[in-house]
Amino acid sequence: MVTYHTLEVKGLNIFYRKAGNPDKPTILLLHGFPSASHMFRDLIPVLEKDYYVIAPDYPGFGNTTSPDRKEFDYTFDHITEVIEAFVNKLELDKYALYVFDYGAPIGFRLAMHNPERVTAIISQNGNIYREGLGSKWATREEYWENPTPEKRQSYRTAFASETIKHQYIDGMRENTVSPDGYTLDITYMKRPGNDEKQLDLIFDYQTNVKMYPEFQQYLRKYQPPLLAVWGKNDVSFIPEGAKAFKKDLPDAEVHLVDSGHFALETHANEIGELMLDFLKRNHI
């Protein structure tokens, strides 16, 4: 059974989902943009019999506190700091990381800070290679290099209702994606003041790309077991990003499923079974 909790961390109420037996190995699920831990609603039941599963919402996302920008810097370093404090407060000494979208730069920061804690990494469209950046990223990099107020405002389209919907349905077979997920994300994104917070994170994403060589060095040094299972029709983080893991981890397992960015919307059972097989074969 999944249960729902909040934990006070650094003055914030961090909402999280919990399932499974705490005496079993832990999996930490890290969501992406523009979503929250609800994106794992179909995956958690596949994992909970064999693993202790924790899925938090980040500050400014889902049901976690969304502090004002004057009181909280919306950067990936800062969000990682909060999630790291959350992990420490729950006393999660060892865990496998599931990283998706924004969860990848947050999860790889966690792994670099405490490599001894990470038992394995599952990357689902969670990119750390330039090869994995789709065509839209060229425009974003031009914005990062030449930021103007006008360019910042243009990225409001990233969390417009139609954009969010298409993040879910593009690359999917017709009529296979429930509207529940994207409707909830649209609601979250429309909360007062959230637009500027999300624009801050879009601008700060450049720090993640700059850290790609450090994330890759972490992989080369520590060689964690890694499963890359990606929606092959994702136009944001393209399949080359999954295949690139083998440059640094020759034993990495790569599976491409016939879906788009939000692969769990259509392939939660398949991805869950791939995870269970991968983790058991690696004695996790």
Q: Return the active site residues.
A: 261
Range list of H helices, the chain: 44-47, 76-89, 103-113, 136-145, 149-154, 161-169, 179-189, 194-210, 212-222, 240-243, 245-248, 264-281
Structure-token match 């392939």, residue found = 267
CA distance 41 to 46: 10
Structure-token match 């425009």, residue found = 139
- What are the beta bridge partners of residue 16? 5, 56
Q: Which residue in 70, 93, 64, 54 sits closest to 193, CA to CA? A: 70
For residue 34, cis peptide bond before it (omega within 30 degrees of 0): yes
What's the DSSP call for residue 173?
P
Structure-token match 């990099």, residue found = 141
Contact 56, 37 (CB under 8 A): yes
CA distance 212 to 168: 26
**Residues in CB range of 46: below 8 A, 6 or more apart:** 268, 269, 272, 273, 275, 276
